[in-house]
Amino acid sequence: KTEKASDTVMNGGWGNPVKPVGLIASLFRPSDDATIFQFLIPSNFFAVTSLNKAAEILTTVNSKPALAKECTDLADEVKAALQKYAIFNHPEYGAIYAYEVDGYGNQLFMDDTNAPSLLAMPYLGDVDINDPIYQNTRKYVWSDNNPYFFKGTAGEGIGGPHVGKDMVWSMSIMMKAFTSQDDKEIQDCIKILLNTDAGTGFIHEAFHKDDATNFTREWFAWSNTLFGELIFKLVNEGKLNLLNDIK
Whether 175 has a pLDDT exceeding 80, the answer reads yes
pLDDT value of residue 92: 97
The pLDDT tens digits of the residues spanning 84-119 come to: 999 999 999 999 999 999 999 999 999 999 999 999
Mean pLDDT taken over the chain: 97
Please give the Cα distance from 36 to 99 (Å, whole number).
Answer: 10
Q: What distances in angstroms separate CA 150 from CA 48, 142, 225, one per listed residue?
A: 30, 9, 23
Query: Which of 160, 138, 241 has its CA nearest to residue 206?
Result: 160
Task: Kindly indicate the confidence band of residue 69, based on its pLDDT and cuts at 50, 70 and 90.
Answer: very high
* Three-state DSSP string of the chain: CCCCHHHCCHHHHCCCCCCCCCCCCCCECCCCCECCCCEEHHHHHHHHHHHHHHHHHHHHCCCCHHHHHHHHHHHHHHHHHHHHHCEEEECCCEEEECCEECCCCCEECCCCCCCCCCCCCCCCCCCCCCCHHHHHHHHHHCCCCCCCEEECCCCEEECCCCCCCCEEEHHHHHHHHHCCCCHHHHHHHHHHHHHCCCCCCCCCCEEECCEEEEEECCCCHHHHHHHHHHHHHHHHCCCHHHHHCCC
pLDDT band for position 6 (cuts 50, 70, 90): confident
The residue type found at 237 is: E
Question: Residue type for 120, please?
Answer: A
> What is the Cα–Cα distance from 110 to 94, expressed in whole angstroms?
15
The residue with greater pLDDT, 129 or 246, is: 129
Bond from prior residue into 116 cis (ω within 30 degrees of 0): yes
Distance (Å, rounded) from C-alpha 208 to C-alpha 161? 14
Q: What's the whole-number mean pLDDT along residues 143-166? A: 97
Q: What number of CA atoms fall less than 13 Å from residue 196's CA on the CB side?
A: 34
